[in-house]
Amino acid sequence: MNRVLCVTEYQSIRKAEVFCAAERTVTAAQFQQLERFNEQSERQRRIKAFQHGARNTLIAQNYVGVIHLGGWQVEVLPKIEAPQYRTRQNLLQMVASALNLQLHGGELASLDRASHSILEVLIRLYCDMLWQAIHKGVVRRYQSQQDNLVTLRGRLDVTEQLKRNLARPDRLHCTFDEFTPDNPLNRALKAALRVLHRLVSTETSSRSIAELLFCFDGVTDVPASAIQWEQATTDRLSERYAPLIRMARLFVEGESPDLTSGGGDGFAVLFDMNQLFEQYIGRRVQHVCAHLGLITQLQGPKRHLALRDSGTPCFELRPDIVITESGKHLVVIDTKWKRIRFNGVREEISTSDLYQMFAYAKQYRVPNVILLYPHHAELGEWKPCLNTYQFREPESERNGHALKVASLPLVDLKLVDEHLKSILNFCI
């Protein structure tokens, strides 16, 4: 069983004599592994998961997920005021929402066990979903093939025939289409299984992966760099594989060779909490608005803040969420994964965020814009709106714009839709 050291955002990991999950300490060799992972991650993915702190410490940043370094793991959880098992469950639900995965009670219940990290649950989820998809049929597609045959199949490749078979009149170099499971989609799914087979630590998941690999026995093994992701797409008949391809890419691109001191493979699945919070809230707002008869657009529609002298637009605006009714924009929502504070007079909102919301209000011509933050205990009892600010307008402007500052509790995600509905009812 892999040892799991769990930290939340902005908690520190300290170098010490021994590994101790409770004290968040690691050995000198493990500390060096983490430093090496951090450097490589920043260089290859532009993700800086840790910052160096004082006295031989590494401080986790706002990238959450799992870092697997051989015989041990670091699990970084979001800073949510909830028990650790609940925070794990909430993170898994947010990831599932972002990847459009269907979770069941078993996956969430398994996170009650301290020994099960999110990685183990994601592995099991991938295997279960892949089994369900395979039972409905492995994807087969026509793939162009070339081969030397004794009878003509497809068409004769004259150039290759002259090059290879000039002295072999009994052979024909043919190009033909074959209906086969050996296609880019299945190669990507199999590559993910190969990665997970090296990471899995439970006997059940290990056996499941081995059996799944047998199902893909006729599919070519390809290295990560050779996977054709742009061709590993789904159509109407294979749509059930779409979430699996998203997961497969997450696993394959999370592999980082030679990060461990023993020469084994390092691996990380990390999510930027800014993006994860935005994607999760966007999907929940879509769900709520659909029941209210409203249309929700995520990451758009695009507008521009200014024009160049030539008349071409510049400084693109792309808000997180725009809610529309009958073609009219009602409200713009921008999510911020920040711990907003109240100084006794007003919320401490950054000036850049205020400028951004003012630009949204003007360009989208909405009466209200909402800054949405995660709720925390220092904000007191939750209410649909923390505060309202009126943007000052010139006397010539008749239609004013208001900024609503709201927060969203994330301790119990079952209540998120009701909280969002209350916020929208207050602000629209």
**Residue 341 has what pLDDT?**
85
pTM (predicted TM-score): 0.83
| Domain coverage including residue 166 | 141-180
Task: Note the pLDDT tens digit of each residue in 26-76.
Answer: 999 999 999 998 988 888 888 889 999 988 899 999 999 999 887 888 999
Tokens of 312: 């071409």
Q: Note whether 368 and 327 are same-domain residues.
A: yes
How far apart are alpha carbons 61 and 63 in whole angstroms?
6
Q: Residue 278 domain-assigned?
A: no
**Residue 256 has what pLDDT?**
56
Task: Note the pLDDT tens digit of each residue in 151-167.
Answer: 888 888 888 888 888 88
How far apart are alpha carbons 90 and 412 in whole angstroms?
8
> Number of structural domains, the chain?
3
Q: What is the DSSP string of 68-108?
A: EESSEEEEEE---SS-HHHHHHHHHHHHHHHHTPPP-HHHH
Which of the listed residues 180, 206, 233 is the one where a domain comes to its end? 180
Q: Residue 307 domain-assigned?
A: yes
**Residue 234 has what pLDDT?**
82
pLDDT band at 2 (very low <50, low <70, confident <90, very high): low
What amino acid occupies position 227?
I
pLDDT band at 104 (very low <50, low <70, confident <90, very high): low
19, 74, 159, 349 from 317: Cα distances, Å: 47, 37, 53, 20
Sign of the C-alpha dihedral, residues 147, 152, 158, 162?
Answer: positive
**Residue 399 has what pLDDT?**
63
Q: What is the mean pLDDT of residues 183-205?
A: 90
Task: Note the pLDDT tens digit of each residue in 244-295.
Answer: 999 999 899 887 544 433 334 478 889 999 999 999 999 999 999 999 999 9
What amino acid occupies position 134?
I
Q: Note whether 101 and 200 are same-domain residues.
A: yes
Q: Note whether 242 and 190 are same-domain residues.
A: yes
Q: What is the mean pLDDT of residues 217-224?
A: 89
Q: Note whether 48 and 130 are same-domain residues.
A: yes
Q: Note whether 229 and 311 are same-domain residues.
A: no
**Residue 116 has what pLDDT?**
63
**Residue 105 has what pLDDT?**
57
pLDDT band at 398 (very low <50, low <70, confident <90, very high): low
Of the candidates 40, 83, 35, 91, the one whose C-alpha atom is nearest the C-alpha of residue 59 is: 35
